[in-house]
Amino acid sequence: MEAAVETKSLSRVFEPKKKKEGKSVTALDSVDLRIEGGELFGLLGPNGAGKTTLLKILSTLLLPTSGKAYVAGLDVESQFSAIRQKINMVSGGEISGYGLLTVKENLWMFSQFYGIKSKVALQRIDEMLKDFGLSEKKDAKVRTLSTGERQKMNVIRGFITDPDIIFLDEPTLGLDVNASRVIRSYMIDWLKDHPTKTVVLTTHYMVEADELCDRIAIIDNGRILACDTPERLKKMVKMNTTLSMDVTRLKDAAVLGSFSGVENFTFTEDGDKGLTRLRFVMRDESGVSDIISAVLSQGSRIESLQKTEPTLEDVFIKMVGKGLE
Amino acid sequence: MAVMNDLRTMKNAAWLGWQMEANWADPFLFATYSIVKPISATLILVFMYMVVTGGNTDNPYFSYMFVGNALYMYVAEVLFGVTWVIHDDREHYMTLKQVYIAPINFYAYILGRSAIKIAITTAGVIITLVFGVLVLGVDIFLDDVDWLLLLGSVVLGMGCICVLGLALGGITFLTARHSIGINEGVAGVFYVMSGIIFPITALPAWAQSISKVLPITYWMDSMRRAVMPDAMAELSTAAATDVTGLGGVSDLYIMVYLAISTAVFFALSLGVFRFADGVARRKGKIDWTTAY
Ligand SMILES: Nc1ncnc2c1ncn2[C@@H]1O[C@H](COP(=O)(O)OP(=O)(O)OP(=O)(O)O)[C@@H](O)[C@H]1O
Ligand SMILES: [Mg+2]
C-alpha cells in the first residue's frame, strides 16, 4: 500500500536574511520517514527540533531544500495542487480566523473552498460543534471567542473538510484538560470511523504521545532519533529504571551523576522550598545505595523516593539527552 | 471544471469580502465610509480650487478636475485594495496560510475578495459624481453622455486597473512586508502623470512622453469624453492649443490601447503571482507576519 507520507533524505535549511547576520539553520537533516495510511503518528521533540518545519513541508507551505517528500504518493514540490485536495493542517496556539464572521460562517466558508456541499457542511458543522462542546458559540463572532475556543474552532476547521491526511501542529497546546481530552478522543474516534485516514501530529506532551499515537518519531536537531510504537520505544530502554528523589539542603547536585550504573542524570531546583528534584536513569541498580549515601553525606534530607519503570519521557531523555521542560 | 471551481472560489471570496466591507451591524459607519469619505475628500480639493480661482466653477476645467479626482479615487483604492486583502489575511486574521493550502486558485480568491472593495469604491465614485453634478454644477448632462464609449471605458479601464492592482498585490505576497511604498509610488506617478487634476500638457515634454504610455492617462480621457463631451471638446479644440494633450487620439485608439494594457497587465499579474508563490514557498514566507 502507498504510504500516507514518505520522505527520502528530506532536508531543509533556512538561510539567514542577510548573509552577514548569523549562520544558516538546518531545520531538517536527511529525514527518512514513512507513515502508513490509518496511522495516528506523533512527532515528539524539543523546541526547535524541526517538527513544524516538517509539517509545513508536508502541507505544501514550504519547499524542501533537498530530498523528497511525498504525501499520498504525490510529490510536494510538483504535485502540490493534488495534495491540497487531500489534506488539511491546523496549528495550535494560533488565534487565526475571520473575526467578523460567526463561528458557523467561518467554518462554512472554509468547507466551501474544499467543494463540500453547503447542506452537508452545515450539518457537519452542527455535529462537530456539539462534539467539541461549542454549540452555544455557533452564532458568536469569531473575535469574541476565547483563545481555547478559537483553537477548538480551528481543529474543527481541519476536520470539517474531510481530509485523507490531517496535520496537526500541537493541537492541544495551551488548552485545558477537558478541551485537550475532547480533541484527543475526537481524533481516535475519527480514525475508528475512517480506518484509512491518517493523523500526523506534533506534541510536547509525553502522555499525549504515549496514549494516543500508534507510532512516534523522536526528533531532535532535525534528525529522527527513533521511530517506533510507544511500547517498543519503551522496551528499548527496558534495562533502565528511574530513580526519583526529592531532597532538601543539597549542597552540590552535579557530583551525583558520576556513580556506576547511572546512564543519565538530571536535576531541577525548586527554589521556594529549598527542594532539589533528582532523577537518575539507571542501567542497573548497583549504584542506588551509593547515591543515597552520597546525598545523605551532604547533610541533605530525603523527602521522597521513588523508583519507576521506563516511560516515554525516559526514552526521550535517553535519546535527546534532556527533558521536555 | 477548473474554471467552474475558480468561479465558485471567487463567489465565496466575494461573499467573505462583503461580510468584511459592508459591516451592516453598523450601518452608520458603513455609510460614512462609503459615502461621506469620498465626498469629503473631494470637497477638500474643490475648496482649494475655489480659493485659487476665486470661486470660478463655471470653467470646463473645473469639471475636468472634478471628474478626474473622482475617478482617481477608484485608481488609488483598487491599487491599494488587493495589497490590503493579502495584508489583512496575513497579519490581521492570520488566515493566509489556511487559505493558501486550500485546494483553490489563490488568484481567484484574491480577485473575489477584492471585487467587493472595487464595487464599493465604484459606488463611492458614482455618488461623488452625482454630488458634483447636483451641488457643484459639474458639466455632466445625461442627454449628452456617450453611453457606448462609457461602457467601453468602464469595462476596459476598470479591468486594466484591477489587474494592475493584482500585480502589485502579488509583490506583497512575495515580500511579506507592506509593499505600500511601492503602491504609493505607483499611485503617485499616476496622480501626477495621468491628467488627473491637471492636464498632461502642464508637464514638461519628457514627462508628457511618459504620460502617453500610461494607460490611466487614456482611461481618464475616454471617461471624460464619454460623460462630459462638450466640456472636453472645448478643452481640446476650442482653445488655440489642445489642453488635454490627447485631442488627436481617437476613441477607438484609446479602447484598443486599454484592451492591450489590460491583457499585458493581466499576464504580468499572473506571472507575478506565480513567481511570488514559488519564492514564498522556497523561503517559507507564507505564514510570516512582519512581526518576525
Ligand atoms: N522561517 C524560518 N527562518 C529561519 N529559521 C527558521 C524558520 N523556521 C524555522 N526556523 C528554524 O528551524 C528550526 C526548527 O524550527 P521548527 O519550527 O520546525 O521547530 P519545532 O520543532 O516546531 O519547535 P517548537 O517545539 O518550538 O514548535 C529552529 O531552529 C528554527 O529557529
Ligand atoms: Mg513548532
**Ligand 1 neighbour A43 (Cβ under 6 A):** no
Residue A137 Cα to ligand 2 midpoint, Å, equals: 28
Residue A152 Cα to ligand 2 midpoint, Å, equals: 18
Residue B177 Cα to ligand 1 midpoint, Å, equals: 20
Cβ-Cβ contacts under 8 Å between A and B: the total is: 69
The structure's pTM equals 0.82
Contact B103 A84 (CB under 8 A): yes
Phi, psi dihedrals of residue A265, rounded to the nearest 5°: -140, 130
**Ligand 1 neighbour A27 (Cβ under 6 A):** yes
* E strands present in B78-151: none
Chain A window 204-243: which residues touch B at a Cβ cutoff of 8 Å? none
User: What's the CA gap between A116 and A110, in Å, rounded?
Assistant: 9
For chain A, where do the domains classified as CATH 3.30.70.100 start and end?
241-308
Mutate: best of A65, A76, A96, A101, partner B, most B CBs <10 A: A96
Atom of ligand 1 nearest to the CA of A55: 18
Phi, psi dihedrals of residue B106, rounded to the nearest 5°: -60, -35
Atom of ligand 1 nearest to the CA of B283: 1
**Average pLDDT in chain A:** 89
Residue B244 pLDDT more than 50? yes
Phi, psi dihedrals of residue B123, rounded to the nearest 5°: -60, -40
Cβ within 8 Å of residue B69, ≥6 positions away = B42, B45, B196, B197
**Which residues of chain A have a CB within 8 Å of the CB of B284?**
14, 56, 61-62
Rounded average pLDDT over B253-273: 92
CA distance A76 to chain B (A): 11
**Ligand 1 neighbour A51 (Cβ under 6 A):** yes
**Average pLDDT in chain B:** 85
User: What's the CA gap between A265 and A321, in Å, rounded?
Assistant: 9
For chain B, how many helices (H) and strands (E)?
A: 12, 0
User: What's the CA gap between A218 and A51, in Å, rounded?
Assistant: 10
Q: pLDDT band for B292, please (50, 70, 90 cuts).
A: very low
Residues (pLDDT < 50) of chain A are none
> Residue A285 has what DSSP assignment?
G
Closest CA to B220 of B237, B240, B204, B236: B236
Nearest CA to ligand 1 atom 3: A14
| E strand or H helix that includes residue B46 | helix B37-53
Q: CA neighbours within 13 Å on the CB side: how many for A301?
A: 6
**Ligand 1 neighbour A261 (Cβ under 6 A):** no
Residue B175 pLDDT more than 60? yes
- ipTM more than 0.95? no
In this structure, are residues B164 and B56 in contact, taking their beta carbons and an 8 Å threshold? Answer: no
Contact B97 A61 (CB under 8 A): yes
Closest CA to B64 of B186, B190, B243, B191: B243
Closest ligand relative to A43 C-alpha = 1
**Ligand 1 neighbour A17 (Cβ under 6 A):** no
User: What's the CA gap between A118 and B225, in Å, rounded?
Assistant: 47
Residue B15 pLDDT more than 90? yes
Closest CA to B71 of B135, B16, B150: B150
User: What's the CA gap between B146 and B226, in Å, rounded?
Assistant: 5
Residue of B20, B98, B104 lying closest to A96 (CB–CB): B98
CATH topology of domain A5-235: Rossmann fold (3.40.50)
Nearest CA to ligand 1 atom 31: A48
Residue B60 Cα to ligand 2 midpoint, Å, equals: 64
**Ligand 1 neighbour A48 (Cβ under 6 A):** yes
Contact B101 A84 (CB under 8 A): yes
User: Chain B residues contacting A, CB < 8 Å?
Assistant: 5, 8-9, 12, 15-16, 19-20, 23, 93-95, 97-104, 109, 281-282, 284, 286-287
Closest CA to B233 of B161, B123, B139: B139
**Ligand 1 neighbour A45 (Cβ under 6 A):** yes
| E strand or H helix that includes residue B226 | helix B215-227
Cβ within 8 Å of residue B52, ≥6 positions away = none
Residue of A89, A95, A113 lying closest to B9 (CB–CB): A113
Ranges of H-type helices in A116-273: 118-131, 147-160, 177-193, 206-212, 230-236
In this structure, are residues B4 and B108 in contact, taking their beta carbons and an 8 Å threshold? Answer: no
Atom of ligand 1 nearest to the CA of A54: 18
Read out DSSP for A90-151? EETT---S-TTSBHHHHHHHHHHHTT--HHHHHHHHHHHHHHTT-GGGTTSBGGGS-HHHHH
Parse chain B into domains and list their residue ranges.
2-282
Contact A89 B101 (CB under 8 A): yes
Residue A150 contacts B where some CB pair is shorter than 8 Å: no
Residue of B5, B94, B286 lying closest to A61 (CB–CB): B286
The yes/no answer on whether domain A241-308 falls in CATH 3.30.70.100 is: yes
Residue A60 contacts B where some CB pair is shorter than 8 Å: yes
Nearest CA to ligand 1 atom 18: A50
For chain A, where do the domains classified as CATH 3.40.50.300 start and end?
5-235
**Which residues of chain B have a CB within 8 Å of the CB of A105?**
19
Closest ligand relative to A56 C-alpha = 1
Neighbours of ion ligand 2 (CB under 5 A): A 52
Provide the pLDDT for residue B184.
82
User: What's the CA gap between A240 and A317, in Å, rounded?
Assistant: 12
Enter the C-alpha cell of residue B113.
Answer: 475578495
